[in-house]
């Protein structure tokens, strides 16, 4: 079975890329100094599930789209980031191209 919860792997990858610790990330998104380490570690080990607001703050801090955390593999995760950086016109054009391709 597929890893049920994709958040741990995504979170770790994006945090490492940003070169910050679990606690630093937690504090940056508004957690208490005293609980940031434990909470962030729970999320990264998959023991607890963060709520949407927390996910959004992490996404913003790590410069990834919210849906990044729910991608099941590295490739689709990178694609999600790349697509989030396109402007709406570019996104529309890409969607049209993909639609043609699948005919």
User: Of 16, 19, 1, whose CA–CA distance to 74 is shortest?
Assistant: 16
Which residues contact residue 83 at a Cβ distance below 8 angstroms, ignoring those fewer than 6 apart? 65, 91, 94
Choose from its own copies, DNA, none: what does 47 bind? Cβ within 5-8 Å by kind.
DNA
User: Judged by CB, which is closer to its own copies: 33, or 52?
Assistant: 52
Q: From residue 60, how far is each of 17, 25, 29, 92 by CA, in Å? A: 14, 11, 9, 23
Q: CB 62 → DNA: shortest distance, Å? A: 14
- Note the residue count of the chain: 103
Show contacts with DNA in window 22-51 (CB under 7 A): 22-23, 31-32, 34-35, 37-39, 41-45, 47-51
User: Of 18, 22, 16, 61, whose CA–CA distance to 45 is shortest?
Assistant: 22
Choose from its own copies, DNA, none: what does 102 bind? Cβ within 5-8 Å by kind.
its own copies
User: Judged by CB, which is closer to its own copies: 24, or 78?
Assistant: 78
Residue 92 contacts DNA per CB under 7 A:
no
Chain positions contacting DNA, by CB under 7 A: 21-23, 31-32, 34-35, 37-39, 41-45, 47-51, 54
């Amino acid at each position: 079975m597929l890893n049920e919860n994709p958040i741990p792997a995504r979170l770790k990858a994006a945090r490492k890329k940003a070169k910050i610790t679990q606690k630093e990330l937690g504090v940056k998104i508004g957690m208490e100094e005293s609980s940031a380490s434990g909470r962030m570690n729970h999320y990264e080990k998959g023991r607890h599930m963060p709520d949407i607001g927390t996910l959004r703050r992490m996404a913003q801090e790590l410069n990834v789209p919210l849906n990044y955390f729910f991608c099941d593999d590295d490739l689709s995760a990178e694609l999600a980031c790349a697509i989030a950086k396109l402007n709406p016109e570019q996104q529309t054009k890409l969607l049209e191209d993909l639609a043609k391709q699948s005919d």
